[in-house]
């Protein structure tokens, strides 16, 4: 199995409720290594660009509002099969459909405020890492 990197973000609903450590624990316990991390406020323009693929969806406006409502923690995770593993640890987008023991099942407020983001494939992982981090900020 190849070592992969993926992009992860702890969303404002989770930082607001002081859940950063609990979420990082879930990721690390699954064998993922945090090789870069910073807590930042993202701008409206950054949120709109980051979620640009969803621009025409009815939830886009609310998504941009919630993503800019407070700080986020952006991360690069590394490990075997990291992209899929991170998606498994996060659980389904809709917390009511997420498996027990997943981040979204245990911590999400709603489908919109669902506590965590994770890249959905190798191409988006690469793009999303580069959106927030320079190579010199990532240390394996």
Q: Which residues are catalytic?
A: 117
Residues 6+ apart with CB under 8 A from 97: none
Q: How far apart are CA 56 and CA 59, in angstroms?
A: 9
Task: Please report how close the Cβ of residue 63 comes to Mg ion at its closest, in angstroms.
Answer: 11
Looking at residue 77, what DSSP letter applies?
Answer: E
Site of tokens 């010199």? 136
93's contact among ligand CDP, Mg ion, none, with CB below 5 to 8 A by partner kind, is ligand CDP
Cβ proximity to Mg ion, 106 vs 120, nearer residue: 120
Smallest Cα–Cα separation from 53: which of 117, 140, 134, 133? 117
What's the count of helices (H) and strands (E) in the chain, helices before strands? 7, 4
Q: Which stretch binds Mg ion (CB under 5 A): 9-17, 29-37, 119-127, 128-136?
A: 119-127
How many chain residues touch Mg ion (CB under 5 A)?
1
For ligand CDP, the binding residues (CB under 6 A) are 54, 59, 63, 93, 111-112, 114, 117, 120
Nearer of residues 25 and 59 to ligand CDP, judged by Cβ: 59
């Amino acid at each position: 199995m190849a070592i992969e990197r993926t992009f992860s973000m702890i969303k404002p609903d989770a930082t607001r409720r002081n859940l950063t450590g609990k979420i990082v624990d879930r990721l690390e316990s699954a064998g993922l290594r945090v090789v870069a991390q910073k807590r930042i406020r993202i701008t409206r323009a950054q949120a709109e660009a980051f979620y640009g693929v969803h621009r025409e969806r009815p939830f886009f406006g609310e998504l941009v509002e919630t993503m800019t409502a407070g700080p986020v923690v952006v991360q690069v995770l590394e490990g075997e099969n990291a992209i899929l593993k991170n998606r498994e640890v996060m659980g389904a987008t809709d917390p009511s459909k997420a498996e027990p023991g997943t981040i979204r099942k245990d911590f999400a407020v709603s489908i919109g405020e669902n506590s965590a983001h994770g890249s959905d494939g190798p191409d988006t992982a690469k793009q999303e890492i580069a959106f927030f981090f320079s190579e010199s900020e990532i240390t394996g």
